[in-house]
Amino acid sequence: MKRQAVKEPIIRYTELERKGLVEKLHPGDDVLRLLQQRGFIYVEGKISAPQFVLLKALEANGIEYQLKSFGFDDGHPNPEIEISLPHFIDDRVLLPDGTRGGREIRMPQPTYRTFIYDTPYSVVKKRNAFLHTDERGALTQVLTTCGFVAYRGSVPLSFLQRLTRNGFELAMRSYHEDGIEYEIQLHGFIDDREQAD
């Protein structure tokens, strides 16, 4: 995905973990304040109204963010939503090459068909102008066909809820350039534009 504007000192997942600041949130927590302090929060469950309220509060304050929606697996018995700010770097996973990376979204669970997005952004964009759309009705078709869609408008909450109900894990970023734009991508999509950390 494109880089977001980093306006705060970098903070890493491992730093938060060392300080005991990655515990899940509880009812009554001031999630906006905690997210601004830590740069990262997670909540159990699928995307719902409380997260929508938080995203709208971030946008009202001109704050760009990233959202990842995960299903469940052996290590994570419940679906989770992770929300982070541009200065947060996820380094919780030790990769085979010895570097550290973040928790990655997976193939749709259950897999209804083989989703393989082996064509990078630059190639898809040349032959599909609808990678960027203002039409809410086109989001599902473009995203499941290409593995990526950019949308300008309000937070597409019902669209995100429908995807997660159908077993899709996803990543979404907001950008505040010339209005608010959202980029949403699925597992395996190759974004060959400037990569984020």
Q: Give the pLDDT score at 152.
A: 87
Q: 2-57: per-residue pLDDT in tens?
A: 888 888 899 999 999 999 998 877 778 888 999 999 999 998 888 888 888 899 99
Where does the pLDDT of residue 87 fall: very low under 50, low under 70, confident under 90, or very high at 90 and above?
A: very high
Distance CA 121, CA 148 (A): 8
pLDDT surpasses 90 at 132: no
Mean pLDDT over residues 66-92, rounded? 90
DSSP structural state of residue 152: E
Distance CA 143, CA 139 (A): 6
Q: 138-154: per-residue pLDDT in tens?
A: 888 888 888 899 998 88
Q: Give the pLDDT score at 129.
A: 66
Distance CA 164, CA 160 (A): 6
Distance CA 20, CA 38 (A): 11
C-alpha to C-alpha distances, 155 to 16, 47, 64, 148, 182, nearest whole angstrom? 28, 12, 13, 16, 8
pLDDT surpasses 90 at 172: yes
Give the mean pLDDT of the chain: 85
Nearest Cα residue to 105 out of 76, 68, 131, 132: 68
pLDDT surpasses 80 at 195: no
Mean pLDDT over residues 81-100, rounded? 92
One-letter amino acid of 64: E
